[in-house]
Amino acid sequence: MAHSKKKSKTKAKKPAAVPKAPANSDRAVRQELAALFEKSHAHVSLKPALAGVPVEIRGVKPAGAPHSLWQLLEHLRIAQWDILEFSRDSKHVSPDWPSGYWPATDAPPNEREWEKSLHAFEHELNEFRKLVLDQKTDLFAKIPHGTGQTILREALLLADHNAYHIGQFVIVRRLLGAWHE
């Protein structure tokens, strides 16, 4: 018996067209990315986590914790600096992993080094924020000297990395009795 194909009386539906993004969507994406660096969404933000850390606990590792507050602050700063410089400088050379991303000591050498690290972290975070907000920065273009990374990817990486370690910072402060909600 021969099979005949019946033509459907209804036409196959075309997939819905993807609407064009409004002209202001680029600005909205940039503003949301910048907000990731400075605002609290689902976690504590940077300023309260790092504010008012007593000098005497900055180099203390609580029982069971792998890092001191100094180590976490320096790791945040070094990793952020690396992501920023990679994003904007083709000649940048990243530190060795993992030794180049962590300080050699549990405690800062002195108060001035703690403050210097804190200010450098805040400055570089602001520099990355400016990079993301700059309309001349193509968020989606592959970074020419990279291996497929984009500024968008680096911004999300930076926000994710900072959130993770700021969470650790708060845990260490809690364990040391230096965190008050």
- What is the model's pTM? 0.84
Taking a C-beta distance cutoff of 8 angstroms, is the pair 79, 161 a contact? yes
Can you give the pLDDT of all 181 residues of the chain as single tens digits?
444 444 545 566 666 665 565 667 899 999 999 988 877 666 787 788 888 999 999 999 999 999 999 999 999 999 999 999 999 999 999 999 999 999 999 999 999 999 999 999 999 999 999 999 999 999 999 999 999 999 999 999 999 999 999 999 999 999 999 998 7
CATH number at residue 106: 1.20.120.450
Contacts of 123 (CB under 8 A, 6+ apart): none
Is residue 53 one of the residues assigned to a domain?
yes
Domain range for 109 is 45-175
Name the phi and psi angles at 150, rounded to 5.
-125, 165
Is residue 5 one of the residues assigned to a domain?
no
Is residue 140 one of the residues assigned to a domain?
yes
Is residue 9 one of the residues assigned to a domain?
no
**Which structure tokens are listed for 29?**
């994406």
Domains identified in the chain, total number: 1
